[in-house]
Amino acid sequence: MAEEKPRELTLYVQSKKVVTSFYRPSQSRMTAGTGGPVAAPSGVAQFEAGRSGDEGAGSGEEHFFLSDDQARALAMAEELAGKRGFKIDVVDVAKAGRIERLVAERLRGVQNFPVMIDPTGRRLEGVDQFTEEHLCEMMPTEMRSLRAFTYLKVRGGDLDRIRLALLGFSEVRELHLLTGDWDVFVVLEFSGPATRKRQVLDFVTERIRGIPEVLDTSTLVPEFSVTKFPVG
């Protein structure tokens, strides 16, 4: 059996650095003349914890925040990764050291963040690329339903009637008209996890071959299937 590839991806984001400058009185100024401490106004964030003495209001501390578009891309990627059995390692390049950034060959040439990179080096770059379709391509998953593929040879006649008869089965997901040895190619899907090859062939022989115009069938039932498409 071939060794399974790591189901891990790295997502690089680039936060923005801000310096807070909210003024908070020193401890000596926070006591009223009659005694007890004066509480800070409600809702004021304690951004300047650790300052000493009577530092002025002009100084502050470094803080980082992620833009909404990058945060949305991150949330979408993590949600799909959880559903598809992948792990995402999030790296904020704004917080990485200078040497780390210089040796990050995987980010060479990157212009837009976020960037997701899989173990093969394939990448998604920029918020516009973070769509469900693209993320599903990066994180293929085992199909929960069973799909089968049936070739049909049909007697000449009313093709619209044959098409409607086939599409009337809920198990028929796709239908394609062909030229060559076979006339029709049908994609079947069975939602039950306990569906077996015998059940698929029973459906083909009893239901599809029950259509008067169908002369012959040949069905393929995969042993294992993986999809890049979104699945419910």
CATH number at residue 133: 3.40.30.10
Number of domains in the chain: 2
Same domain for 104 and 178, yes or no, is no
- Measure the CA–CA gap between 123 and 104, rounded to whole angstroms: 14
Same domain for 135 and 148, yes or no, is no
Q: What is the pLDDT of residue 3?
A: 47
Q: Encode 25-46: b = buried (16+ Cβ within 10 Å), e = exposed.
A: eeeeeeeeeeeeeeeeeeeeee
Q: What is the pLDDT of residue 228?
A: 83
Same domain for 154 and 215, yes or no, is yes
Low-confidence ranges of the chain (pLDDT < 50): 1-3, 29-58
Query: Which range marks the domain in which residue 212 is found?
Result: 142-226
Same domain for 173 and 116, yes or no, is no
- Of 139, 171, 189, the one marking the end of a domain is 139
Strands (E), the chain: 8-13, 16-19, 62-65, 87-92, 115-117, 123-125, 141-142, 146-154, 172-177, 184-190, 214-220, 226-227
Q: What is the pTM of this model?
A: 0.59
Q: What is the pLDDT of residue 41?
A: 40
In a domain, 179, yes or no: yes
